[in-house]
Amino acid sequence: MNWHVKSIVSPAMWVAVPKQLTLWRILMRTKILEFKSLLACLAMLLSAAGTAFATFPGHNGLIAFQAQTSAGVQIYTVRPNGKDLQQITFLNGDAVAPAWSPNGRQIVFEHDAPGECANVAIMNADGNDVIEFPAPGVCEDDPSFTPDGTRIIFHRFDPATNDDAFWSMDLSGGDRQRIGQSGFDPNVSPNGKKISFLCCPNGNPDASALFTSNIDGSNLFQVTPFSFDVAVKQDWAPDGKHLVFTIYGDVTIPGVSKNIVTIRPNGTQLHFVTNYEGGDVSAVVGSYSPDGRWITFRLIDHGLVGLYKIHPDGRGLKAILPLSDFRPGFIAWGARPNEANDEDGEDW
């Protein structure tokens, strides 16, 4: 496998950079092992890497993301031209990791209620009709839709049996099926045949690599080396020909910027979309646009944060929400419903 990487840091640093558990992994293990400390861990969530979900083909619709409010982390939507920014959840605790249905009419997300382990929830695109799928004593998180829109795939941990695996269920929360494999962010490919996810060497959470498997958990394949330290946010291109991820994004390395990278699912054709250096400016990927022409991401520039988009070839950088103290994260771009008003063209 030819994993050629441009020299952002020395080759020795790729292998020997000191590591620590990411804030995201700290959160997940706290949910499982120490529920009472959940709220303290959730306060750290925004500085962690994001969760990933597939972008399905279609016309470009609303962009969803999470951001901190005075009442916890909540989900927002905004149009790709930066108009109509709206907070759509007002839940007790944190509403995080939004993922769109293929038709752009629903959002599935993770609800972290105070003192409880995470559960999966679903709502309409405007935040109405929230339905939760609680599983007492079990942690369920990282949800996303399958490409046909009929099922939700998610990560599940059962402390009673120590079972840690990816599962799927129907949109009513029933017909639960264990898929197998375990890691972070199960993400179904647009053709429904593959799952991409992140995991660590031999279960040791000191580095993250990108993997794929068949939808049933078979045929495990490592797409990137662990030295890439992939952030917990990755996405399939709508045509399924590329994956996008953030390199050196899991654990912050002083003086090293996080950047957006695309790669073929077979591990070839690594391409840097952004090329920030020095550590003061970084790019953390959100998702592809449904038409595949854009990648949306979180730009971090000397402590300020903005929601931006860029073409996969690295051209055409544009601000959707400019740099400010508002901190959008866990960004997902949804398809435009067929009945939506098209008065603003592709910038709907």
Asked if 256 and 300 touch (Cβ cutoff 8 Å), the reply is no
How confident is residue 250, by pLDDT bands cut at 50, 70 and 90?
confident
How confident is residue 167, by pLDDT bands cut at 50, 70 and 90?
very high
Strands 209-214 and 194-199: antiparallel
Of 34-48, 115-129, 177-191, the least confident = 34-48
Calculate mean pLDDT across residues 200-209: 72
Which strand (E) or helix (H) includes residue 179? Answer: strand 177-180
Q: Pick from 229, 257, 52, 251: which is nearest to 154 by CA?
A: 52
Question: Does the pLDDT at position 234 exceed 70?
Answer: yes
Q: What is the pLDDT of residue 54?
A: 65
Q: What is the pLDDT of residue 203?
A: 60
Residues 6+ apart with CB under 8 A from 82: 319, 320, 321
- Strand-pairing partners, residue 329, are 66
- φ and ψ at 39, to 5 degrees? -60, -40
How confident is residue 55, by pLDDT bands cut at 50, 70 and 90?
confident
Calculate mean pLDDT across residues 329-333: 96
Question: Does the pLDDT at position 259 exceed 80?
Answer: yes
Asked if 240 and 193 touch (Cβ cutoff 8 Å), the reply is no
Question: Does the pLDDT at position 46 exceed 50?
Answer: no
Cα gap 314→134, rounded to integer Å: 42
The three-point CA angle 113-189-234 to 5° equals 55
Q: Report all structural domains of the chain as residue ranges with CATH numbers, in order of start.
A: 15-337 (2.120.10.30)
Cα gap 48→26, rounded to integer Å: 10
- The identity of residue 76, as a single letter, is Y
Calculate mean pLDDT across residues 152-181: 94
Cα gap 20→231, rounded to integer Å: 13
Asked if 231 and 49 touch (Cβ cutoff 8 Å), the reply is yes
Q: What is the pLDDT of residue 29?
A: 39
Question: Does the pLDDT at position 36 exceed 70?
Answer: no
Segment 94-139, tens digit of pLDDT? 999 999 999 999 999 999 999 889 999 999 999 999 999 999 899 9
CA–CA distances in Å: residue 54 to residues 51, 124, 252: 11, 18, 25
Segment 187-203, tens digit of pLDDT? 999 999 999 999 886 66
Segment 269-292, tens digit of pLDDT? 999 999 999 999 999 999 999 999
Cα gap 252→242, rounded to integer Å: 25
How confident is residue 58, by pLDDT bands cut at 50, 70 and 90?
confident
Q: How buried is 291 (Cβ within 10 angstroms: 0-12 exposed, 13-18 middle, 19+ buried)?
A: middle
Residues of the chain above pLDDT 90, percent: 72
The SS3 call for residue 346 is helix
